[in-house]
C-alpha cells in the first residue's frame, strides 16, 4: 500500500514565467561620473503560493535588490519569478515544504539570471546572487509561525537587512 501511495505523489512544472520585473537607476548618469563608490546592497526575498484548481499551484518568488552608496540609490531591482506546478498526492505538511522550499529552489536560477542581466544592462558591474538555502528559510518561517509570529503560511521568509517583500 505504501508503494501505491508513492506512485500517486506527483510534482510537475507546467510553466515558468516572469510575472513582474522592474529596474530603476534614479541617479544615473551622475553615479557613473562621481568617482569611486562602494555600494551597500540589500536583498529581500519572499515566496508565496496560490492554488489554481485541479492540483495546480502558482508559486511566486519575489526578490528585491537595492544598492546604495551613502544615501543615494544606485539601482533597485524588483522581480517576481513565477511557476505553475501540478502538485498531487501529498499531505498538508509535505505540500508546505514543496511550495515553501522545493518550488522556490526551482525558480531561483531563473530569477538570478534575470537580475544579473538587467543590472549589467544598467551599466553596473556584474552582480551574482549567491545560492539561497530555501530549506532553512522555510524552517525559519515555520518556527516563527509556531511561535506566534505567523503569517499566511505561504511565506518562505525574508533574507537581507529588512525591507518589504512586496505584495501580490
More confident residue, 104 or 34: 104
Share of the chain above pLDDT 70, in %: 83
* Residue 2: all three cell numbers together: 505504501
43 pLDDT more than 90: yes
Exposure b/e, 108-130, CB count within 10 A at least 16 = b: bebbbebbbebbeeeebeebebe
Sheet holding 10-24, edge to edge: 10-24, 72-88, 56-69, 40-53
Cell 507546467 belongs to 14
100 pLDDT more than 60: yes
Angle made by CA atoms 107, 95, 138, in degrees to the nearest 5: 60
Beta strands 10-24 and 40-53, pairing class: unpaired
Mean pLDDT, range 62-69, rounded to an integer: 96
Q: What integer best gives the mean pLDDT of the chain? A: 86
CA distances from 33 to 29, 37, 40, 119, 134 (A): 7, 10, 18, 17, 39
Rounded to 10 deg, the angle between the 103-121 and 134-144 helix axes is 110
Amino acid at each position: 500500500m505504501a508503494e501505491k501511495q508513492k506512485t500517486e505523489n506527483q510534482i510537475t512544472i507546467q510553466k515558468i514565467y516572469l510575472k513582474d520585473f522592474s529596474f530603476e537607476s534614479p541617479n544615473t548618469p551622475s553615479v557613473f561620473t562621481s568617482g569611486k563608490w562602494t555600494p551597500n546592497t540589500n536583498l529581500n526575498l519572499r515566496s508565496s503560493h496560490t492554488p489554481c484548481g485541479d492540483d495546480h499551484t502558482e508559486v511566486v518568488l519575489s526578490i528585491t535588490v537595492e544598492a546604495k552608496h551613502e544615501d543615494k540609490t544606485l539601482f533597485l531591482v524588483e522581480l517576481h519569478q513565477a511557476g505553475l506546478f501540478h502538485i498531487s498526492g501529498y499531505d498538508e505538511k509535505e505540500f508546505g515544504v514543496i511550495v515553501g522550499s522545493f518550488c522556490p529552489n526551482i525558480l531561483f536560477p531563473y530569477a538570478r539570471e534575470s537580475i544579473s542581466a538587467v543590472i549589467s544592462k544598467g551599466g553596473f558591474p556584474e552582480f551574482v546572487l549567491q545560492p539561497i538555502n530555501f530549506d532553512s528559510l522555510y524552517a525559519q518561517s515555520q518556527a516563527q509561525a509556531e511561535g506566534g509570529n505567523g503569517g499566511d503560511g505561504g511565506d518562505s521568509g525574508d533574507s537581507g537587512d529588512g525591507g518589504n517583500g512586496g505584495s501580490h
